[in-house]
Amino acid sequence: MRLSSKQAATLAGVSASLLLGDAAHADERTAEPTAAATKASRYADGVYTATGQYGGLPSSLTVRVRLERGVISRVEVGTPAKDPTSLDYQKRFAAAVPAVVVGRPIEQVKVGKLAGASGCPDGFNAAIEKIRAQAAR
């Protein structure tokens, strides 16, 4: 089989890319951590749980997060309210939180009003503060 000059050039380029690709990956493995990774390492990996209080009638939310290199990889919000209206707000808030905080460094997480719930964020943010303290190295 005979290759055209264009095919030969493409093949040579692919071969060079493969060789350089391996070298590039070797460099990545030995490179210094980025500033974000270094900062994120302030927190130990693990699963943490805390309760945050909010509102005039002390209401609360239980927050459970999984941290990986200081980044929230999973979040669950417990909704313990007994009052049907409060429970509805808590459930809607709990459903909306993952889309806002998963994938973000815990150090940057502070939520505002979500899914119509204006009090729940105060309890969530208070729990996140406690979790930061628990996970700090």
**Dihedral through CA 120, CA 123, CA 129, CA 133, nearest 10?**
-140
- 64 — pLDDT class (breaks 50, 70, 90): very high
On whether the CB atoms of residues 55 and 116 are closer than 8 A, the answer is no
Whether the CB-CB separation of 83 and 89 falls below 8 Å is answered with no
**Residue 58 has what pLDDT?**
80
Closest alpha carbon to 80 in 125, 120, 46: 120
Contacts of 120 (CB under 8 A, 6+ apart): 54, 61, 89, 90, 93, 114
- Read off the pTM: 0.70
> Who wins on pLDDT, 16 or 108?
108
In whole numbers, what is the pLDDT of the chain averaged over residues?
79
In tens, the pLDDT along 24-38 reads 332 222 223 344 444
Find which of 37-41, 57-61, 119-123 is predicted with most confidence, using mean pLDDT: 119-123
Identity at 52, one-letter amino acid code: G
Name the residue ranges covered by the structural domains of the chain.
5-31, 39-135
Q: What is the band of 40 on the pLDDT scale with cuts at 50, 70, 90?
A: very low
Calculate the dihedral angle through the C-alpha atoms of 96, 97, 100, 102, rounding to the nearest 10 degrees.
-130
Helix intervals (H) in 1-137 = 5-30, 35-40, 84-101, 120-135
Spatial contact of 52 and 122, defined as CB atoms under 8 Å apart: yes
What are 74-117's pLDDT values in tens digits? 999 999 999 999 999 999 999 999 999 999 999 999 999 999 99
pLDDT value of position 4: 52
Distance CA 123, CA 115 (A): 15
